Amino acid sequence: MIEYKIYGMDCADEVAVVKSALLPYVKDDTLLQFNLLKGKLTVHNAQNFSQKELEKKLKSTGYRFVIWSQYESQQDETQSFWHRNMRTILTVIAGLSLLIGYLVHGSMHGFLHALVGDEGQTHAQPVISVIFYLGALIIGGWYIYPKALLSLKRLRPDINLLMSIAVVGAMFLGQWLEAAMIVFLFSIATLLESWSVGRARKAIQALLEVAPDTADVYCNHHKDLTSKAVSEVNIGNTIVIKPGQRIPLDATVIKGESFVNQAPITGESLPISKKKDDKLYAGSLNEDGLLYAKVTKLANDSTLAGIIRQVELAQANRATSEMWVESFAKYYTPLMMLFAFLVMIIPPLFFAGDWYRWIYEALVILVIACPCALVISTPVSIVSGLSAAAGNGVLIKGGNFLELAAKIKAIAFDKTGTITKGKPSITNIINISNTYNDQTLLALAASLEKGNNHPLAHAIFAAVEAQNIKVQFEAHDISVIKGKGIQGYVDNQLIWIGSHQYFHEKMKLQDELKAFHQQILELESSGHSLLIIGNNDHVLGLFAVADQLRDSAPAVIKALNDEHISTALLTGDNKGAAKFIAKKANLKEVYFELLPQDKVTQIESLKKEHHYVAMVGDGINDAPALARADLSFAMGQGGSDVAIETADIALMSDDMRKLPWIIKHSKRVKRIIQQNITFALSIKALFILLALFELASIWMAIGADMGASLLVVFNSLRLLKK
């Protein structure tokens, strides 16, 4: 892999120039990855050719470039004001030269009219105005003519060659003002594309500046703070975040409480309450409390760094429509040049037409045929769509995934942590003891489960904490019965906690327990997991534990159904739990007791029925199914790193409401792309017809082309509005 910084490569047309130059060496254009945000070119599988050969081809494009590592080490030197703004400066100078030439032309025209009158007036343009027009042609075309020559040399006509031919033709006809105007407005068009891409990426560029460069590291030995660069802070270090400060690194709260605004990461508009053991994301804003936190990820591995990295990599996964437009433009431009040539010669040769007039109309066709609006219509829409999604806490890893979301006909959901909150809690306590109340039963259970990391044990701890119960019991001689339960001695009395199966092993189903057993069966059928507690002689009661359905799940499923998207639940849980959750969430299809490979098989089955299928999951066991689905979503906040890396789209706030939003957003992006392409081609077809009927002028063609470019850009930028 070889990486280069290419200066001035900031629009789709320029990427196409570089790509076409390198394709003789790099046979597959998917091996060329462009990051327009940084002006970075990455060439994969570089072992198939020498670096010297590659750089020779790069030099032939006329772009200045350096090895990426050299650029990073000399960034201050290479990023001068002139290099950053050369295109804008040259365009402004060309515009001023054009304006002066026009004013001189107008004043000389008026002077001659006053001097000799209409009869003696010459129509020749003043030499001084021609000089200024020529200056505008040279300065404004500084970037155009070298690319046009390269295009001619490669026998692959592009926009630059088309514009250059139009300029030469206008000069040949003595239309110096029109020639200069073509160059100036084409320069503005390329500036416009560069600006629009930059505007669309503001949401991403802002992320680069969100996280602070330093962190206040707390030293336990000296009880003081040391300011360190974030790159020097290690995992496990304690950092202090004061009110009003940005969080420098991903961490977990170990002391303090505060409200944290994590909108740059998750898209949540309201601050989130943070307390002990809660996660903190680099780049979030600590609003009102002092927080002590333990660093969990290095600066380069933070969630923020991952978002930035994934958005940059999204350039490689180009949208289908973007590739179609690029392919279309490759054939469209030479065909339009051939058509303009035929328009120029056929009427004079076969129909006694005026050569001057038909050469002029051919130039009109060349100008209006310029595919600027067509070429920028799709990439600006895609980048705007990606940026808008990132601003809403939805990380999409490529334009192709953004477009694919509009085609989805079915979505399969994992249960735990996706449809449900992933935090089991005690919903019912059934106490059949004559000795203990509910709080004492919880305290007994907590003493036995102390140190246990099982989710069901955490449900007991959470209930104890919620009810402020003081656990005064001490359990000893604790033993775990794998897959069944746990037992130990409390106050010299054997206490056990276990499953339904373990209950049958410990107790005979006597008449007095039949009603209790019936309650067990009813709770299991409604999707509960059970922790039955007892001693050597009696059953004391049970704790019914269930994972709570996400509050937004029913509304989300309804919204997806309204979009005519079928929904299904895929889970490894038992039939009762699966059907109970599916019913509450209004999911029609339910598949339960699935192993990871079974989920893959079920995804295959859904694809045969619905063609385009998405999968939503959060765990490691979901990764195979996520990879097999046409489009995959991962819960970014509660999900595993494996699931997030595997998925095409990450919901950074775990907000399921983003699912119907992204489907609608994708359809809106697709609709805007279609509008842009339709308008760009329609306006060109209209003016070609006007030119054939001798009703169009170069001025009209220039105005129409600029208007089309402006319209598709601003239409695309509508996607950035929330």
Kindly list the catalytic residues: 414
Is residue 316 within 8 A of residue 28, CB to CB? The reply is no
- Among left, alpha and beta (phi > 0; psi -120 to 50; other), residue 236 is left
- Alpha helices by DSSP H, listed for 392-533, are 399-404, 438-449, 455-466, 500-506, 514-525
Could you tell me which residues come within 8 angstroms of residue 499 by beta carbon, excluding any fewer than 6 positions away?
483, 484, 485, 530, 531, 532
Residues in the chain: 722
d(CA 599, CA 640): 17
Could you tell me which residues come within 8 angstroms of residue 155 by beta carbon, excluding any fewer than 6 positions away?
none
Q: What is the DSSP string of 617-660?
A: E-SGGGHHHHHHSSEEEEETTTS-HHHHHH-SEEETT--TTHHH
Please choose, from the candidates 102, 72, 57, 100, the residue with its C-alpha nearest in 3D space to the C-alpha of residue 5.
Answer: 72
d(CA 595, CA 592): 9
DSSP, res 49: S
d(CA 616, CA 639): 11
User: What angle in degrees, to the nearest 10, is found between the helix axes of 12-22 and 51-60?
Assistant: 140
Residue 325 Cα to chain centre, angstroms: 21
3-state secondary structure of 253: strand
- Alpha helices by DSSP H, listed for 44-126, are 51-60, 68-73, 75-78, 81-120
User: In the Cβ-directed half-sphere of 144, how many Cα atoms lie within 13 Å?
Assistant: 29
Is residue 460 within 8 A of residue 449, CB to CB? The reply is yes
d(CA 167, CA 609): 56
d(CA 556, CA 660): 7
Is residue 34 within 8 A of residue 315, CB to CB? The reply is yes
Residue 341 Cα to chain centre, angstroms: 44
